[in-house]
Structure 1
Amino acid sequence: MEQPVHHFSELFEQLGLPSDAASIERFISRNSPLPPNMSLSEAPCWNEGQAELLREAVQEDADWAEVVDHLDASMHKQQ
């Protein structure tokens, strides 16, 4: 059984955030780079529910894990 493939915009929808390309780019620009030792789910830009979704996606290697890893890399990258 194949794992569903989620797009970056779908993750932002799951997080309750605007999911168009310009909004995603603005969000990442405003909230990054994160310190190298800070996990994505610990970033101050998330509310408790958003942080939990991100944490669980990685811990459970859920079908969201790959796109969460992409967001993690984007938020840690130096602008």
Structure 2
Amino acid sequence: MDTSKHTMKALFQQLGLPASDTEIQTFVRNHKLFSASVKLEDATFWTEAQASFLKDALMDDSDWAEIVDELNNLLRG
């Protein structure tokens, strides 16, 4: 069982992305989902592994689902 704290920083680390506050802000600023019809996991900027992780987190309502939802909202804001 994964007992690690599920934060945005931890999510970015899980996805293999730079995870400092500045790097997360830069990622969000540079990667936007403007179309409501595009699912988070279908965005073109994810690798296949990243997209799979995000999709599974949401579909399985895993411990990561809440923070993945938060990322989804940030990328649409």
Indicate whether the TM-score tops 0.5. yes
Alpha-carbon RMSD across the aligned residues, in angstroms, is: 1.3
Aligned length: 75
Deviation at 1:37, TM superposition (A): 1.1
Q: Are the counterparts in 2 of residues 34 and 43 from structure 1 also a CA contact under 8 Å? A: no
**5+ long unaligned stretches in structure 1:** none
Q: Which residue identity does 2:35 align to in structure 1?
A: P
Kindly report which structure 2 residues correspond to 1:41-60, keeping only aligned pairs within 5 A, or say none. Answer: 41-60=41-60
Deviation at 1:46, TM superposition (A): 0.2
Kindly report which structure 2 residues correspond to 1:20-59, keeping only aligned pairs within 5 A, or say none. Answer: 20-59=20-59
Deviation at 1:33, TM superposition (A): 3.6
The structure showing larger relative contact order (alpha-carbon pairs under 8 Å, at least 6 residues apart) is 1
**5+ long unaligned stretches in structure 2:** none
Percent of pairs with identical residues:
35
Q: Does 1:14 align with 2:14?
A: yes
TM superposition score normalised by structure 2? 0.91
